[in-house]
Structure 1
């Protein structure tokens, strides 16, 4: 699995570098946006070192919501971002009329149920309060997980 992740990170780094250089051949810095957690970790520990070996400086912008990364990309403040599944991207682009496109798929962290109070599902009492994602596509997945 580690070899597969390494190959995927290398492929993504190559695609990002080629895309950034196609837009500006003299570009030596790539702005990469991601949401906190596994996506920013993929960039920080997997993609950034590979891009830096190719001579690029990588600026990572960490976001705490799912709206700003695509808006920043569309505005040119970022060269790439990684944080969303394809269904979310398609809906976001349609809703906001943005001309963004998917370059490559990255591994997506599995959905899970997390708690600071309960050690297992058996500890969760009827009527417990839970939070769900506020975008329609991720919220539907979360509701299915809870069922």
Structure 2
């Protein structure tokens, strides 16, 4: 199964969206990197460092700006019709999702098979590689949601 398809399936599990959003919005994590680490079953520090470097650069170039624009377009804006604003917000949301997919597909190319690490171990290692480790309970919540 491709990483993209696995991610869509994983994100549909109970608790996964909330755990991902908490890790992203509260703890500053890159959820694509975290999900990739679980999919790849890796805790290899060198591989995770390479992946985190790509994710950081893509976050700065594409994901972060698109997310900021999408969020800025959420409230009403005086002088602009709500339907027009919401339509643009949906377009930006689609671009943000495409940017997530590009990152996941890029990370998938770094994988050379599965490493055998358990989900929580992979999440902890990826969080460290990202540079701002998330609290263990937040990582454990995602690991539990992913099964």
Q: Does TM-score exceed 0.5, indicating one fold?
A: no
Bin of the TM-score, shorter chain as denominator length: under 0.3
User: Larger strand proportion, structure 1 or 2?
Assistant: 1
Which structure has the bigger radius of gyration?
1
Higher relative contact order (CA 8 A, sep 6+): 2
User: Larger helix proportion, structure 1 or 2?
Assistant: 2
What TM-score does the superposition give when structure 1 sets the normalisation length? 0.22
